[in-house]
Amino acid sequence: MNIQAAITIYIFEMARFRRTIFQSLVAPIITTSLYFVVFGAAIGSKIETINGVSYGSFIVPGLIMLYLMTESINNAAFGIYFPKFVGSIFEVLSAPVSSLEATVGYVGAAASKSTIIGLMIFLTSNLFVTHDIKYPLVMAIFIILTAITFSLFGFIIGIWAQNWEKLSIIPTLLVTPLVFLGGSFYSIDMLPEFWQKVSLLNPVFYLISGFRWSFFGTSEIPIALSIVAILSFMAICLAVIAIIFKTGYRLRT
């Protein structure tokens, strides 16, 4: 196995993150702070506790998930789309690099970047609210699984996209609404019964709910269901990537 190739791609992609460290970290931190000021302090002060948790604390897992998912998708999609766009992807395609090694390099880097951003948001939240993590190990597992799974999804989008518009269309029109409607900022118990049932069709709801369980020990659905949901999505993404590399879809002519 050409492990060095996977490491090389990983280092190369992380170098891009370092070059744009200010933009990569400061923007999410500022936006998160604004969320806490608006939702946590201004609006949150008018909202009763949810399952015994203050509203400011309640939205922390949702905010982390929001960034974890969107940053994973964006970083992985850009990571593979940019060399396709400038043509430098020929180097990877003509090198002795297997699909697994390429995926580990690109997806590993994207997942690392989004995990760092997720942790920065978690640290930022501590400036506004205090919370004890009930199951820190489960929290860490959820962060890593979500980062990897959505980076795999972003990797697929980056290969599929043939222009910049397509690159952003799925994150903008599908993922962001699913994250917002997946209970990032509210409990689905707050919704009318019909919309509660609709929310159960949203796969992101299972992830946010499970992640929230790791913080507070309570959630709308069993934790096992959340883990099954994320592992299922990961399996689907891996299968799609395997097909992409086997067929050369939008990579090799």
Instruction: Give the span between the Cα atoms of 249 and 246, in whole angstroms.
Output: 8
Q: Name which position in 22, 86, 137, 193 contacts other proteins (CB under 8 A).
A: 86
Q: Residues 155, 250: contact at Cβ < 8 Å?
A: no
In this complex, which beta carbon is closest to other proteins, that of residue 11 or of residue 123? 11
Q: Does 120 bind other proteins (CB under 8 A)?
A: no
Tell me the closest approach of the beta carbon of residue 243 to other proteins, in angstroms.
Answer: 15
Q: Name which position in 52, 96, 137, 193 contacts other proteins (CB under 8 A).
A: 96
Q: Does 23 bind other proteins (CB under 8 A)?
A: no
Q: Name which position in 45, 49, 51, 88 contacts other proteins (CB under 8 A).
A: 88
* 3-state class (DSSP) for residue 246: helix
Query: Which residues does 135 contact at the CB level (< 8 Å), separation at least 6?
Result: 213, 214, 215, 217
Tell me the closest approach of the beta carbon of residue 83 to other proteins, in angstroms.
Answer: 7
CB hemisphere CA count around 19 (13 angstroms):
6
Instruction: Give the span between the Cα atoms of 88 and 9, in whole angstroms.
Output: 13
In this complex, which beta carbon is closest to other proteins, that of residue 50 or of residue 110? 110
Concatenate the DSSP letters of all residues of 60-101 into one string.
HHHHHHHHHHHHHHHHHHHHHHHHHHHSTHHHHHTSS--HHH
Tell me the closest approach of the beta carbon of residue 11 to other proteins, in angstroms.
Answer: 8
Q: Which stretch binds other proteins (CB under 8 A): 50-58, 96-104, 147-155, 230-238?
A: 96-104
Instruction: Give the span between the Cα atoms of 200 and 216, in whole angstroms.
Output: 21
Q: Does 9 bind other proteins (CB under 8 A)?
A: yes
Q: Name which position in 27, 38, 93, 242 contacts other proteins (CB under 8 A).
A: 93
Q: Does 248 bind other proteins (CB under 8 A)?
A: yes
DSSP-derived letter for residue 143 is H
CB atoms within 10 A of CB 100: 15
| Interacting residues with other proteins (CB under 8 A) | 2-5, 7-9, 11-12, 15-16, 19, 82-83, 86-98, 248, 252-253
